Amino acid sequence: MKKLIQKLLPIFIITSQVFAFAGFGLSGNQSLFSVDESTSNLLLQDNIVGSFTSSAFSNGYGIGGYLYIDAIPIIDIDIEGNSFFSFYDFSFANPVDTVKKQLATGAISGYLTAQKKIFELSIPFLAKAKLAAGGGINFHISPPIIDQKMLEGIMPAGTNIANGTVNTTELIKYIDENKKSSSGFHVQAGLQFKVFLLDSFIYYRHVFGAKDVIPGGNGFGSLNLRLGMGI
């Protein structure tokens, strides 16, 4: 056993040194937000011919990946790409019928963060724990909000909007052609744990200024969990 420890000890020392430079892996998140129910009139030549309603919904879940560089003096650089999705009910009522659909909203996002170590605790050659905080910029691609223009675009060709039904194919096409881009800034803080080559994080991030990523909002929070390895 003593000889085995002597052989493994240099590997652990090298691993500990290399592990401090960079890391990469997968991430999961729970976005934190709430959206109220909304109802709007459907107009045809300035006449009310129906209404459409989006149900209240909250929070979302997603996955992504990350890369960080921990070799720069004073600050660390963190790059992450992720997505989140949430589902809500949509109904379109007219004099003939009421159509109900479940739709998805969310975003594909990218984050660039500079952060600084606040506190670190280590067990030589075995494990490290670090508390860090920082901020940065972000960008997002998200689907459009349901409105009169969208409903006119997703009715079957040649169908009167007052009594038409939703064309799912046209809905998907409309969302793809009218997706929105936005950007903002964020702050985040959390803990990082290292055990040999294994690397994990748990942290909270809050996004500001990213308009309508959450319908009607200018930001949102998220709880994030990462699992990866050092290089």
pLDDT for 79: 96
pLDDT for 223: 97
pLDDT for 27: 97
SS3 7: helix
How many CB atoms lie under 10 A from the CB of residue 208? 13
Phi, psi of 119 (to 5 degrees): -155, 145
SS3 106: strand
Instruction: Identify which of 139, 69, 74 has the alpha carbon closest to the alpha carbon of residue 109.
Output: 139
Residues of the chain with pLDDT under 70: 1-20, 125-126, 153-168
Q: Which residues, including other chains, have CB under 8 Å from residue 26's CB and lie 6 or more apart?
A: 63, 64, 65, 66, 226, 227, 228
DSSP 48: E
The whole-angstrom separation of Cα 52 and Cα 144 is 15
Tally of helices (H runs) and strands (E runs) in the chain: 3, 10
The CATH code belonging to domain 2-230 is 2.40.160.20
The whole-angstrom separation of Cα 154 and Cα 169 is 8
pTM, full prediction: 0.81
pLDDT for 49: 75
The whole-angstrom separation of Cα 172 and Cα 104 is 11
pLDDT for 207: 97
Q: Locate the domains of the chain by residue range.
A: 2-230
Helix (H) or strand (E) holding 11: helix 2-18
Beta-bridge partners for 54: 38, 90
pLDDT for 16: 44
Q: Which residues, including other chains, have CB under 8 Å from residue 106's CB and lie 6 or more apart?
A: 60, 62, 83, 84, 85, 86, 142, 143
Locate 93 and state its tokens.
């009522």
